[in-house]
């Protein structure tokens, strides 16, 4: 889709991760609105006086320009669109978790403008919303669900795997790739009532049991699509909580 | 021509940061052709450093002693403990000549995307060091990057929970800095962290 030489400018983007590259440069993994996740070489970005040093920062809305073709393009220009407060504490770790999900589940050069807008909205909430108004769990679950939907792994929670309406009282098991199957399930199966499935469908996590269920379901689904890869940010987050 | 030894030297030099195959080859030829004395000195210095240097039992930076000279100096103020990411950061703090306390060098920072957490950083050693009853204040001087901030946040929580007074170095406009020539991120942060004048 994006083969051939191109010159792009004024592209809204977020930095997901930066790696040192050669003596004075960085390779940055960015999520751009209209070109998806791409790799850019930021020449000279590690020099002490480089103006890019303070610009290429995670969780800030950037305005980027680049040129070139292939795996690694060359960053031509980077500016902050505006300045959001830096994320802090657990919110910063949640931000890293969002970045890792995008890095591991989204292939390069695949545009997802709707997902970009959802990511921007989630980061903005983490940066700007007063502590007491942000429900981290709801924010994460909403993003995880939207991510799976956008990447084509959408989950169906408003009817069962056969396309039949749910019985709120009946018990169901959620199978990755299939959907809800009526039955008790066993062992590691994620099982729920029809009413709980409908609450999940509506992103209504007010009930503590539904919120827990959402967390388990997302963890199982994400692990399924990661095919055994570890989520590093999740492990580090858990270890930090235990300090 | 048997070049196994030469190949080994070139590939060994590539372990240095930002040294690719071309630079490694240039370095190898330079050492062998133009500066054999320099090469000999480098080989011995590397050998010595590897056998004689280790981490100071107190501050974790490199030293030949069990406890480094700075940590055992009676002139340093043992009530302050400054936590930095790298030995280079420690040297910068020293160059200010405005700090006379002691240090703890993390030799890294929490980097969630790289999988570097409290275990990899071995934060238990910092806890042990900070538990010294002489310590009255821990100053967090990690970088103002997202990773440095994450590190400072969790260190702060962890040390405060153990009853220590914890401070964070301030941030804002650089000395001699003019608003007009400062990046908007710094200005925005300075504004949100403004203080009574």
pTM for this structure? 0.88
The DSSP-derived string for A83-136 is: -PPPP-THHHHHHHHHHHHHHHHSPBT---HHHHHHHHHHHHHHHHS-GGG--H
Tell me which fold the domain A2-80 belongs to.
OB fold (Dihydrolipoamide Acetyltransferase, E2P) (2.40.50)
Extract the residue ranges of chain A whose pLDDT is less than 50.
1-2
Cα(A224)–Cα(A204) distance, rounded to whole angstroms?
Answer: 24
Q: Cβ neighbours of residue A153 under 8 Å, at least 6 residues apart?
A: A221, A225
Measured over the CA atoms of residue B104, residue B107, residue B113 and residue B117, the dihedral's sign is negative
Contacts of A55 in chain B (CB under 8 A): 183, 185
CA atoms within 13 A on the CB side of A32: 21
State which H helix or E strand residue B162 sits in: none
- pLDDT for res A177: 86
Q: Which is higher by pLDDT, A102 or B185?
A: A102
The DSSP-derived string for A3-52 is: -S-EEEEEEEEEEEEEEEETTTEEEEEEEETTTEEEEEEETTTTSTT-TT
Q: What is the ipTM of this complex?
A: 0.87
Cα(B141)–Cα(B152) distance, rounded to whole angstroms?
Answer: 8
Whether the CB of B115 is below 8 Å from some CB of chain A: the reply is yes
Q: Which is higher by pLDDT, A69 or B94?
A: B94
A89-242: CATH, from 1.20.1440.120, 3.40.50.720, 1.20.1740.10, 2.70.98.10 = 1.20.1440.120
pLDDT (mean) for B159-167:
95
Q: Cβ neighbours of residue A17 under 8 Å, at least 6 residues apart?
A: A28, A29, A58, A99, A103, B113
Only one residue has tokens 């062998």, namely B32
Domains of chain B and any CATH numbers: 3-52 (1.10.8.420), 76-168 (3.40.1360.10)
Cα(A223)–Cα(B111) distance, rounded to whole angstroms?
Answer: 21
Whether the CB of B185 is below 8 Å from some CB of chain A: the reply is yes
Best mutation site among B18, B110, B146, B161 for testing chain A: the one with the most A CBs within 10 Å? Answer: B146
Whether the CB of A85 is below 8 Å from some CB of chain B: the reply is yes
- pLDDT for res A2: 47
Contacts of A92 in chain B (CB under 8 A): 146, 149-150, 153
Instruction: Decide: A126 and A94 in contact? Cβ < 8 Å.
Output: yes
Tell me which DSSP letter residue B65 carries.
Answer: S
Best mutation site among B112, B148, B151 for testing chain A: the one with the most A CBs within 10 Å? Answer: B112
Percentage with pLDDT > 90 across chain B = 84
- pLDDT for res B2: 63
Distance, C-alpha A3 to centroid of its chain: 25
The model's pLDDT over B50-89, given as tens digits with 9 standing for 90+, comes to 999 999 999 999 999 999 999 999 999 999 999 999 999 9
Positions of CATH 2.40.50.140 in chain A: 2-80
Positions of CATH 1.20.1440.120 in chain A: 89-242
Chain A residue at shortest CA distance from B150? A89
State which H helix or E strand residue A181 sits in: strand A179-182
The DSSP-derived string for B107-132 is: SS--BGGGTB-HHHHTHHHHHHHHTS
- pLDDT for res B18: 75
Instruction: Decide: B134 and B140 in contact? Cβ < 8 Å.
Output: no
């Amino acid at each position: 889709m994006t083969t051939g030489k191109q010159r792009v400018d004024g592209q809204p983007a977020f930095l997901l991760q930066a790696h040192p590259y050669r003596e004075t440069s960085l390779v940055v993994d960015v999520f751009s609105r209209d070109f998806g996740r791409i790799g850019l070489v930021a020449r000279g970005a590690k020099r002490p006086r480089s103006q890019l040093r303070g610009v290429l920062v995670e969780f800030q809305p950037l305005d980027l320009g680049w040129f070139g073709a292939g795996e690694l393009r060359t960053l031509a220009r980077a500016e902050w669109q505006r300045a959001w407060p830096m994320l802090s504490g657990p919110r910063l770790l949640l931000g890293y978790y969002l970045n890792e999900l995008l890095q591991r589940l989204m292939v390069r050069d695949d545009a997802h403008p709707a997902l970009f807008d959802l990511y921007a909205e989630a980061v903005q909430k983490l940066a700007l919303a007063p502590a007491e108004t942000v429900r981290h769990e709801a924010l994460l679950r909403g993003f995880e669900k939207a991510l799976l939907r956008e990447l084509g792994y959408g989950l169906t929670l408003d009817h069962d795997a056969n396309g039949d309406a749910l019985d709120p009282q009946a018990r169901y098991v959620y199978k990755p790739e299939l959907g809800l199957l009526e039955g008790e399930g066993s062992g590691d199966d994620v099982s729920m009532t029809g009413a709980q499935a409908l609450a999940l469908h509506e992103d209504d996590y007010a009930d503590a049991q539904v919120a827990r269920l959402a967390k388990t379901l997302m963890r199982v689904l994400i692990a399924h699509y990661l095919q055994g890869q570890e989520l590093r940010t999740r492990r580090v987050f858990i270890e930090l909580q235990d300090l | 021509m048997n070049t196994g030894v030469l190949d080994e030297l070139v590939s060994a030099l590539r372990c240095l940061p930002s040294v690719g195959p071309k630079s490694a080859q240039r370095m190898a030829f330079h050492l062998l052709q133009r500066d054999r004395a320099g090469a000999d000195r480098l080989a011995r210095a590397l050998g010595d450093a590897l056998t004689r240097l280790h981490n100071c039992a107190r501050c974790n930076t490199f030293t030949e002693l069990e406890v480094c000279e700075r940590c055992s100096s009676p002139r340093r103020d043992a009530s302050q403990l400054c936590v930095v990411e790298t030995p280079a950061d420690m040297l910068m703090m020293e160059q200010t000549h405005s700090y006379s306390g002691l240090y703890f060098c993390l030799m890294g920072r929490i980097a969630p995307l790289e999988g570097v957490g409290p275990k990899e950083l071995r934060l238990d050693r910092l806890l042990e060091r900070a538990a010294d009853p002489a310590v009255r204040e821990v100053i967090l001087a990690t970088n103002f990057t997202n990773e440095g901030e994450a590190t400072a946040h969790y260190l702060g929580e962890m040390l405060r929970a153990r009853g220590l007074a914890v401070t964070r170095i301030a941030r804002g406009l650089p000395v001699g800095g003019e608003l007009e020539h400062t990046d908007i991120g710094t200005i925005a942060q300075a504004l949100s962290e403004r203080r009574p004048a």
